[in-house]
Amino acid sequence: MGLDSVYLWVLPMFHAGGWTYPWAITFAVSTQITLRNVSYPLIWNHLCNSSVTHYCGAPTVQVHRTPEL
């Protein structure tokens, strides 16, 4: 994690990370993008356009098919 890191949250911050990543990202002065719910168009928009370097999502989120690019 560093100044150029961009973390995309899809899981709640308190979930599997145990508050480790929210604090680490904050102390590294990294950018955090949080989503209120699982929205595949928003996820793909950020992955393609927001310079995301780190991503946090449940395995069930990953099973959705990728869009036609």
Q: Which domain holds residue 35?
A: 6-62
Q: Tally the domains of the chain.
A: 1
The verdict on residue 31 lying in a domain is yes
* Spatial distance between the Cα atoms of 54 and 42, rounded to a whole number of angstroms: 15
Q: How far is CA 30 from CA 48, 61, 65, 66, in A?
A: 18, 24, 29, 27
Q: What pLDDT, on the 0 to 100 scale, is given for residue 27?
A: 92
Phi first, then psi: give them for residue 15, nearest 5 degrees: -65, -120
First to last CA, the chain: 29
User: Are the C-beta atoms of residues 67 and 40 closer than 8 Å to each other?
Assistant: yes
Per-residue pLDDT of the chain (69 residues; tens, 9 = 90+): 899 999 998 877 776 555 677 888 889 999 999 888 888 889 989 999 999 999 887 777 777 665 555
This prediction has a pTM of 0.77
Q: What pLDDT, on the 0 to 100 scale, is given for residue 1?
A: 87
The verdict on residue 69 lying in a domain is no
